[in-house]
Amino acid sequence: MSTLHAPILDWYAAHQRDLPWRRPEASPWSVMVSEFMLQQTPVSRVLGPHEAWLTRWPTPGALAAEPTGEAVRAWGRLGYPRRALRLHAAATAIVERHGGEVPAAYDDLVALPGVGDYTASAIASFAFGRRHVVLDTNVRRVFARAVSGVEFPTTAPTRAERDLATTLLPEEPAVAAEWAVAVMELGALVCTARSPQCGDCPVREQCTWLRAGQPAYDGPPRRGQAWDGTDRQCRGRLMALLRDDHGAVHASRLVSAWPDAGQRERCLTSLLADGLVVQAGDETYALP
């Protein structure tokens, strides 16, 4: 057992947030929906949509029975609406391949549409208590500081990071699953990116970065995501207009969402290519 295990697990037992997808009664589908929604989206923005989604579609089969456009509409303003398409596709595959039940095996999960290594590992671990390395941004930051002694991890996970995470993973599957979510919670609440609360950290005496005097990050520039005036903002405005209208929308109405004609056309073309929007008529558009 790593000397990090006991203090982090004890801290999690005392400080974990009460989140619906972590409760004992949470279904694997609830966990799966949360993992899709939480990609690049904070917990505070996910709580309401997650509850609404599970109320409307309590099972994969319930979602699969609806048109994809309803999934996109219900996604609302969570952002990155392709996640809604992927979740709908995954639900359909679960019905077709697994009798409507979210599979427990990593290989079955990663074979679903829109499910990559992280999501498959997280669902298998958090929903089924399986032993998997779960490397999200929070976990990577905790390991980078506590073990590797650097302020931030690299942009993308490296083989060395995965090897390190594997060596730290407890052998007992149930403990490994608890460990995965405990480290994630520590990174979300204490070992944060901007203002780490080192005085509250349960492993502060073992933290390599803290003991080294918290050396500043000296890797490649960490760029924040721009928003104003970007194609992402334009796409979001067009999607909002289409979501709010349950019928086909004439192209002339899209001008009110985004006045720049060139950018508007480019973004509309990309939404059509992504399958988030369909052409309903010569000059009308709708959700799929």
pLDDT tens-place string over residues 199-217: 999 999 999 999 999 998 8
Q: Give the integer Cα–Cα distance in Å for 10 and 282.
A: 62
**Catalytic residue IDs:** 35
Average pLDDT over the chain reads 94
Structural domains of the chain sorted by starting position, each given as residue range(s) with its CATH number in brackets: 231-286 (1.10.10)
Tens of pLDDT, residues 9-36? 999 999 999 999 999 999 999 999 999 9
pLDDT band at 170 (very low <50, low <70, confident <90, very high): very high
With a CB cutoff of 8 Å and minimum separation 6, the contacts of 15 are 185, 189
pLDDT exceeds 70 at position 264: yes
**What does the pLDDT read at residue 271?**
92
- Name the least confident of 13-17, 141-145, 151-155, 195-199: 151-155
Say whether pTM exceeds 0.85: yes
Long-range contacts of 9-14 (CB under 8 A, 24+ apart): 9/175, 9/178, 9/179, 9/182, 10/202, 11/182, 11/186, 11/202, 12/178, 12/181, 12/182, 12/185, 12/186
Tens of pLDDT, residues 65-111? 999 999 999 999 898 899 999 999 999 999 999 999 999 999 999 99
pLDDT exceeds 70 at position 222: no
